[in-house]
Amino acid sequence: MSVLQQQFMQLIDACDINDSDNDLLALLGVPAQASAVVMPDDGLAFTLPALPQAKQKRQSKAVPWVALALMSVLCVVILGGAAMTALSANSARAVAGLRVFHVTSNSMAPTANSNGNVQSGWMRAGDAIIVRNVEPQHIAVGNVITVDRGTQQDPLTHRVMAILENFDDPSGLGFITQGDANRSPDPHVGGSQVMGVTALRIPLAGHVLGFVHENLAVSIGLSALVLLGFIPLFVILLNNGKKKNASESLAQNGAEGQI
């Protein structure tokens, strides 16, 4: 045993140290996160574990790509939704059996039924709805359907109150509909006029789709500017991430110290 080691043991005995190993190491100035502690002849040495930099690097590199992807998806969704809204005005057109409509009135605003419960399928002006194709014979009382009222009027989305058989229509079926917030039913409609059943309501999305639909050229230009404006920010974030990674490269393999 070296002289230094003998002095070290004498110091422990003189101080009557009964604390845990961690307390003793702290007294000697060894960091708590040290992964190894040895006592060579010339002093007390310790080794720090490698810092978890790899995961942080991956996260910093992923942030710009994720942000750019989200912005791109958002622009595509908005423009795609507006295109579907324009196509949905034609009863003969649907995309994958789906149509998108902009709700323009509060005729289907939520109201309580006779039991005091709000019926499902309600919507407010400014919402957007996705309507899926369905055969007239599969429609039931209580469904919320969208019907084509001709070229002079916008499609109507109301709840089915009754089904009429042997109706004067190619489908042989007719429907009595009424808005939840309306006091009287609508004129009867035939099954061939039904464009689909409401499958999903997207709150307030109709405002965005309506603006894009009415200002398609402006919306495309704004989307392009947003994406082009984001590219310099993307480059800055990427460069900052590279600089940060370079400055922290010395800590990858851990640090060593000696007392």
CA 175 to centroid of chain Cα atoms: 38
- Mean predicted confidence (pLDDT) in 242-249: 62
3-state secondary structure of 101: strand
- 12 or 78, higher pLDDT: 78
- Give the DSSP letter of residue 27: H
Place of tokens 């324009």: 86
Residues of the chain with CATH 2.10.109.10: 89-214
d(CA 122, CA 101): 14
Position of tokens 């509909």? 177
Q: What is the CA radius of gyration of the chain?
A: 35
89-214 CATH pick, 2.10.109.10, 3.40.50.410, 3.90.1150.10, 3.30.1370.100: 2.10.109.10
pLDDT value at position 127? 94
Is residue 140 over pLDDT 90?
yes
Closest CA to 231 of 31, 68, 34, 15: 68
Q: What is the pLDDT of residue 206?
A: 86
pTM over 0.85: no
Looking at residue 214, its pLDDT comes to: 77
Residue 46 predicted with pLDDT over 50: no
Place of tokens 């194709």: 133
Q: What is the pLDDT of residue 149?
A: 86
Amino acid (1-letter code) at residue 124: R
SS3 160: strand
| Distance from the Cα of residue 201 to its chain's centroid | 16
When mean pLDDT is compared across 34-48, 113-127, 199-213, 236-250, the lowest value belongs to 34-48
Give the pLDDT confidence of 162-173 residue by residue, as tens digits: 999 999 999 999
Does the pLDDT value for residue 57 go beyond 90?
no
**Strands of the sheet with 173-178, listed across from one edge:** 98-102, 128-132, 194-202, 144-147, 156-165, 173-178, 189-190
